[in-house]
Amino acid sequence: QKEVEQNSGPLSVPEGAIASLNCTYSDRGSQSFFWYRQYSGKSPELIMSIYSNGDKEDGRFTAQLNKASQYVSLLIRDSQPSDSATYLCALTGTASKLTFGTGTRLQVTL
């Protein structure tokens, strides 16, 4: 079983819609959770971090964490074509080492 699982996609949503990206993880000791956005041919950039159960909002982005279900998600409201990218879920345990999922490719269509 992979440590961090994501659906590879592509997830296709129309412009203006809500994109919902999901991630599950296997290690219950995981402590911190992150979402990175990676455009094609570019490096990953951090867009959200979440450390406790519940929701965390930043602009059009909302991260949701449910440690009991070992589930973290990212919602993107009012999706724009510029949001088209691969979204990587990542987490750290006690070792502060980032473990990544394989990413979900998001396509926002006009």
Binding site for other proteins (CB under 8 A): 8, 32, 34, 38, 42-46, 49, 86, 88, 92, 95-100, 102-103
In the complex, least distance from residue 82 CB atom to other proteins, rounded to whole angstroms = 19
Q: Are 63 and 53 in contact (CB under 8 A)?
A: no
- Checking DSSP bridges between strand 45-50 and strand 32-38, what pairing results, if any? antiparallel
Q: Please count the CA atoms within 13 angstroms of the CA of 14 that sit on its side-chain side.
A: 0
Residue 108 Cβ, how far from other proteins at the closest point, in Å? 18
Q: Is 93 helix (H, G, I), strand (E, B) or coil?
A: coil
CB of 69 to other proteins, least distance (A): 23
CB of 96 to other proteins, least distance (A): 5
DSSP 71-85: EEEEEESS--GGG-E
